[in-house]
Amino acid sequence: MSEIDRMFAERLNRRGFMRMAGTTTLGAAVLAACKKADDTGGAATGTGGQGSHPPIEQEPGDLAVFDWSGYGNGDYYPNKERASLWQAYTDETGDTPQFTLFENDDQGYTKAVSGTVKFDVVHPCGYKYKDWVDLGAMQPWETSLIPNYSQLNPKLMESGVVDGQQYFIPLDWGFIAPLVNTDHVDVGEQSFGILFDEQYSGKISWVDTSNMMYIGGLFLGVSDPFNMTDDELGETRDFLISKKPLVKFMWNQSYDFWLAFKKEEVWIGYSWPDTVGYADAAGMNYLYMTPKEGRVSWVCGMGLAKDTQNYFHAHDYLDSWASKKAAEFLMGWYYYGHTNTTADLSVVSPGVVQALGLDDPTVLDPPNAIPESYIPRRELYGQYWSEVKSA
């Protein structure tokens, strides 16, 4: 096994991190550009109900965190020379988070609906926030208990507001776009259509979630890919079924896509920025597309369980994640952006800067990026996607 393969041997998903990365960071120009004159944080605060909870000394601890696999592995936790995402929390409280992991947003939400998982803090992405609130499982954060909140990008904090309250604190962000191996793929017009190109049959990888429905709708030019009509959903389903034979495999964990991409088993794939960082570090010839339809941008954040008995522990945990030190760790090891605007962004891999457009202050703005949005008829999207998979 080569050195780089050894470094990537852990099965990480979207949250997989680079053991070989130095201080490579993500989001230099973007985070600086997005920071507005208002340094007060987001658009909403919590309920101010902290007085109704017992003090932290009386809380049980063993904070239950429901998070993406890769964020909850804990492989870097014992190394106190590195700024782990929750090291400050452990140092302050003496508590060690207890993780339950999910591979994707659909799986995490399904587990919550079924009642098979209990958590104090959960980490979904923005297009699912309202689903979690509507489930009746969440309560707003009390932002006055999060000292680092004032350092977070106020514009991005707005995406965590549901029904006028800060139910989620957005922390990490990135893109969805095609990644291609330019040694084998002749790139003409950049488009999501590369994921459906007949000439690359057997060399394409899709993600194994219903997100492919809105990607297909986006390519087909529907007016709102996150809220398609019945006819549009049917057309998208039929289109994906017709293109499914081109796909070598569908991935649940981005490590699986990365490994196949590095071995050149596939040349094209639905990709998050972590695989772009891996390809850059491996010296591959690649292009992370800026498709004519627009890159899809995602922002994920922490939510607070309605029935938590660790109210103050949860706020301390989130504050650790929101810190400058954690932001630099996230960006340097995971290749994702962070909403903390004070992170040291002086050392950025030129390849990552170019691939992700970090020198473009409009990179997160439409039409350069299309924010991943709430899907009102998510169950129907899932049903149609199931039909694609079973075809």
Calpha distance 318→25 (Å, rounded): 21
Residues 271 and 302 reside in one and the same domain = no
Residues 138 and 109 reside in one and the same domain = yes
> CB-based burial of residue 7 (10 Å sphere; 0-12 exposed, 13-18 middle, 19+ buried)?
middle
Count structural domains, the chain: 2
Domain range for 137: 35-173+297-344
- Write the CATH number for 222: 3.40.190.10
**pLDDT at residue 87 in the model:** 87
Domain-located, residue 200: yes
> CB-based burial of residue 115 (10 Å sphere; 0-12 exposed, 13-18 middle, 19+ buried)?
exposed
Domain-located, residue 349: no
Domain-located, residue 30: no
**pLDDT at residue 27 in the model:** 39
Domain-located, residue 354: no
Domain-located, residue 358: no
Q: Which residues contact residue 43 at a Cβ distance below 8 angstroms, ignoring those fewer than 6 apart?
A: 154, 157, 158, 161, 166
Residues 64 and 149 reside in one and the same domain = yes
Is 82 within 8 Å of 76 (Cβ atoms)?
yes
Residues 232 and 156 reside in one and the same domain = no
Residues 122 and 207 reside in one and the same domain = no
Calpha distance 91→281 (Å, rounded): 32
Domain-located, residue 11: no
Calpha distance 389→244 (Å, rounded): 8
**pLDDT at residue 44 in the model:** 52
Residues 384 and 249 reside in one and the same domain = yes
Residues 285 and 203 reside in one and the same domain = yes
The overall pTM is greater than 0.85 = no
Structure tokens at 370: 């299309």
Residues 275 and 374 reside in one and the same domain = yes
Is 270 within 8 Å of 205 (Cβ atoms)?
yes
- Measure CA of the first residue to CA of the last residue in the chain; give whole Å: 37
Residues 64 and 78 reside in one and the same domain = yes
Residues 161 and 226 reside in one and the same domain = no
Structure tokens at 289: 């597309």
Residues 133 and 246 reside in one and the same domain = no
Q: pLDDT (tens digit, 0 to 9) for every residue of the chain, 391 residues total?
A: 444 443 344 334 433 333 233 333 333 334 433 433 333 334 455 544 566 899 999 999 999 999 987 787 654 444 443 447 888 999 999 999 999 998 888 889 999 999 999 999 999 999 999 999 999 999 999 999 999 999 999 988 999 999 999 999 999 988 999 999 999 999 999 999 999 999 999 999 999 999 999 999 999 999 999 999 999 999 999 999 999 999 999 998 888 999 999 999 999 999 998 899 899 989 999 999 999 999 999 999 999 999 999 999 999 999 999 999 888 888 777 888 888 988 876 655 777 767 766 666 677 778 779 999 999 998 999 999 999 999 9
Domain-located, residue 19: no
> Between the CA of residue 130 and those of 29, 122, 138, 264, what are the distances in Å?
30, 13, 10, 39
Question: Do you find a cis peptide bond into 367, omega within 30 degrees of 0?
Answer: yes
The closest of 369, 131, 203 to 273, measured between CA atoms, is 369
Residues 71 and 149 reside in one and the same domain = yes
Domain-located, residue 229: yes
